[in-house]
Structures are given as structure tokens and as C-alpha cells.
Structure 1
């Protein structure tokens, strides 16, 4: 096995990490270099999470065809009329921008140079695309045996569907989740967010960190192969074992749980609440809080097993809950439940952004873009006590940091970089 090239990595990284937000270079992944050859969400979100945790992430885009998420709404507008995508900003913060035309010999050479100094490469092309360009996993591992190569795709790097084009909805459809979502008397409904992309993102981060740990211990990198279809399938709770154990094919249940009751959406005076007081303890406390303690001993509904029975639930429990909730507001119901039983308002995003718990957890952060003003975006759910993540960085403009990155990590001088610009390689 060839050795990784000797470099003064601390000094090299110092040349570019000085441009990061204060504190980011002290994150848990400080010193880790990530090459991000991704677009839209699944790949960019993966590398962004690594960046928030302190990794030095280089976003590499085609100079002729940059990440088309740059055109997604909502848009930030400068005083001169220039636009910048808030969507792109949220998923690409804390990254350095580089453009590279991988269809050219010079572009391939630059990527190979960068791969020698990198720890991770993340890409989300269809399987075989990077190989066709001549810079796939097998080629780059020869440049750097320690490289962790994370590939995110619709159906994975193996199997009969591997070359099929795919989007988030493809994963929801073929992973089983779409068929289970919605109401039984209506057509299936997609989950209201890009859960195929987002679940693949999270598994990719986990796989990348596991592979990094292995590389640190052994000097051997590896391919991290994450499929959106696989990721969605793993989110279907008990559906697989229900089918394999007794032949049941789960269908849409609306807001109900397959067997736990009461555990769903309930209307109230000004909207809806979730109530999950299904255990005997929570049921008893709920009866007390809503002024009917004697119901906890009612022989028809005094045990969890009885309340799980569909007929009992519909005839006795649901009407009871309707009486408790219908004439009270979301706020009143949350105040009654307090810290005692699981009851919460079903909030729209406007309410969530202003939620005091969200504020206390720093989950909506303000980021100021020069010339564009302030944009509020989600923070990071990963809270580390000693090396906290930093979610307030900027997303790069197209190719914004080409000079510093290529000088620091590809050992190119200004003349070489200028030549690449002239040829349209960067």
C-alpha cells in the first residue's frame, strides 16, 4: 500500500480556514478535508453537516453548470438587484467554493491532486458517472489509499436499478413509505418533506464518520455506498416485519398509529394537538388533569390493552378526548398538560420559528450575507459539549475560493491557476 504524501497539512489548511467563522476551525472535525462534488440536497446537506462540525469542505462545481439549487427559491436580493438563493445558502454554509471542469484533462489532474490531500470525497451522481469521467473511486483510491469515498444515489452502487435516475419521490415510492402515508379512503400521499434525500444524508454522515474512524486506525479508506431507497425502507417502522411475519401489507392510517391508542391528531378550538397518553400512567394523569379522575378506574377503559381495542377506542376513548379538547385552545391544552403528559400543539413553521424551545436550542440562526442582508435558517441539531458545531457560516459564490484552495491543497502557483482560468477549467 502506498503512503499518503507528506504534507504540512496544518499550515496548508491554515491558509484557508482563517476565512471561516470564528470557532469553526476548532470543531470536532478540524483538520478533516472534504471534497464535495454534489448538488441539490442529499449530498450538499451531508457535507454541510461535516462543515458545521469543523471539517474543511471544498464545494466543487462545474463552471459551465453549477449546482442548480442556486436558482431555487426563496431568493435574497441585493440593492443592485443581484439574487442569491436562501435554499442554497441553508445547505451549503461553511464551505469553500471551487469550480472544476472534470471533462477536461486539466480538471481531472486538479481533482487527483486535491484527492491526495483530502480525507473524504462526497458525490451524488448516478453510479458510474464519476468512473466515466475517469475520477471514480478506484482511480482516486490509488492516489490516496486513506480516502473515504462517500457515494449517495437513488438505488445504490449495486443491483439492477443502480443506473436509474432518481429523486426524493422515487425513494419514497420504491422504499414503501409513499404507500403507507395518507388516509385509507384516499390515494397515498407523499411525506411532506424530502425524506428520501434527508434520510440518505444522515446515513451518509454516519457512514462517513465510521469510515473515517477506520481509516485513522488502519490507513485504509473505503467506499461508503448509501441509497435513498434503502434509507427510506429503514424508516418504515414495523412494516417489513409485519409483512414477513404474518403477510400484512401496511396501508395508509392517516394520523393513527398501527396499534397504539390514543396516539394521534385531535382537533381543538384553534387548530390541532397531538396527544399520546396511551400508557396506564399517562392515562390516569390525563383523567386527573382534565377533571375526571374516576375514568381511570372505569372497567371498560382502565387498561392500555382495552384502550388499544379499535371498537373501545372509537366508542369510548375518542369521544372523551373530543370533550376534553374541542373547547380549549392549543395554548390552554399545553398549559393543562404541562410536564405531566405528552400533549403538544401541531404548529406551522411560523409558530415553530418563534417557539421558545427552538430559540433555547439555537435551532434558528441568523446569518448575514454582505449585500443581501440577513437570512434565518435552521441551525444544527447536533449539540457537542466540548466542540460545538458552528451553523452560522456563509455559502460560497460560484468558484469564490479557487485561488486559496488550489494554492493550499493542490500546490498550484498563481501562473498555473491563471492558465486554468483561461482554459475555462475553473
Structure 2
């Protein structure tokens, strides 16, 4: 696919923020792994909710409440269909990926005992490390790490060696937020299931690039955040197999998650409401559904093809800069480039790029164990989306060269 046939200029017109300037320069937004930008079509849906039918859901007989409920539940169905989930009540609305992971970790406190083993990969975001450390501390379980190599790929031989009848849970991200590596989750899920372990996949970084088929993957839990897929912040999705969601106790108590309450005993509501206590982010859920509609209209095959073209071009251009090193050179990766230049601190490069209107992320990207593995303080991370262009890559490269000349 060529840039012309993809028609990125038309797509960019959907994103109002791309027209603004930063420090007197046209914005070049390359921090998409942190959060993607929001198209006008999604913004309009959110504004429409507050202007025309703002009301609490599931609890009112009046018209506004019914309209809001219908729109919110329609979004749940959109998520179900997008990820090919068998049943809509296997879709739990959350505040984001971190919330979903903590919900599962809290629930598994009832099933994990001392001596059980939990496996996490070496390239996890902190949100898929800390909750399992907390679970291990509460239960006496042992946390073990699937190692990675210098290319930023999991060492699968070591993964198989770690598996045993003590393994109860395996956790892995679909795509590394720091390196862009696409992990072999199909293989990981199959191997874990063969020894009776459950699997949670952090899909936050995959969702903007890959349309995951959760029935085909046969994964037990899968979590994402809407703000990675052109949606609003503060809302996300946890998928869980019905059999697991029925076993897990509620994460929070309150309104909506109950069937009957007396001072003597409370019984819980059916799925999905059992895990959705309190008033949710209603407009966020509706906007989430609208964002998936938007991306599906563009087409995930088109998105993947175009972003791969950007990745290859950016990689080639950046590597032409003397002294620049890219971290994360896996064969299978998505449009993320983490790099450093010699002994220059990544923060200093990021600061100069910001003065040029270029938004990148610097630091450890909430993946400090990866930085410790490479023995570096952090990286400069440029992460590309389908609305970015080769011209923006060229601006980035010139900005990095300028920063290098200023700092060395």
C-alpha cells in the first residue's frame, strides 16, 4: 500500500489537534503509545451525550436514562463484535487496562496459595508487574520471570523450562509498549493451558494495531484501554471467559453490582454488572464504541500496512544518524522505535524536540526492568499512528540531528 492510496491527508483532517502549533512549530505528535489522538467523529459523540441525553444508566424508567442505557450497552456489543467475544456479558467495562489487571489479581487472591507459581514476561509494563507482586505477597506465591534477549524478544526455551504443575497464572503483553515487540501470545496461551494455567494478556498496545480474535486465541483474560484506540481516557475493557468471571469474587462493592441487599446478607448481580459497581464512565463507554467504529471504517489491515511502511522508513532514516542505537529489534514488531544517542540523556533530546514541536516520550516508559536489562536510564520513544506521515518522520530525524549537534 502506498501513502497516496491510504489517503493519510484525508484522515488527518479528522483530528483537530493535528492542526495546532507547539512552541511556534506545527505539532508532530509521535507519542501514540502513551495515548492516541481523538477524531472529531468521537468528540461529536461525547458532546452529543452531554448535550442531549446525559443521565444515569440501568436505574431509571425515564426516557433520558433509557437512551443512555441503550447507547452504553450498544457500545458493549460493538466491543464484543470487534474482538469476536462469544457473549456480551464477558465484556467488563473498566477505567482502563490497569483497572482490569487489578480486578483479576484481586480475584485470584481467593485461588492462589503458598508455593503456587506466577509467570510474567520480562518486558511488562509496571501495571502488569506490581499487581502480581502484591498478589504474591498476600498469598505466598512465587513470581517468576520469562527472560528476554538483546533483540527484545522473549526467550521461549526458558518459558517452557519455567512451566510446571505449580504454574497457575501466566501474564504477558501482546505488544511491548517500550520496544514494540509483538509477542507470540498464541504459543504462550497454548503452552500454559497444556499445564492447566490461566493466561491474562495485556492488549493495551496491541489494540491500535491488531484486531485480536479472542475466541481464536482462547485467552482467559484480555485487557485494553480506549485512549489507545482513538477513544477517550478513563475507560477500558476487560474480557474474561464466563467460567472465570463467575468464579472470581467482585472487585468492588456498591450500587449496580448487587442483586439484593439486606443488613444480614448481600447477593451479587449477574455478569457483567457483578464487576461494574457504581456509576460508570457512561460517555466514555459510548465514545469507546464510536472509536472502534472509526478505526474499523479505516480498516485494520490498511492501518497495519501503512504503519509498517512508516516503521521501516523511520528505522532506516534514524539509523543513518551516527551514534544512534535502537532498542528493540525483534523480527515481529509494530510502529514503535526506542533509541538513544551515545551518552546523551534521553530527557535532554526530548526537551529539544519539544521546542521544535515534536512530541515524543522519554524515560523508562513504565517498563523499568527493560531499561535495567539494557543498563540504560531510559530511551527516547517515537511511536507512530496511522495519521502520521513520512514528512513528520523527516522532521523528527532533522530534530534528532539538531539535538545531537547541540548536546555533543
Q: TM-score, normalised by structure 2?
A: 0.22
- Greater radius of gyration (CA): 1
With CA pairs under 8 Å and 6+ residues apart, which has the higher RCO, 1 or 2? 2
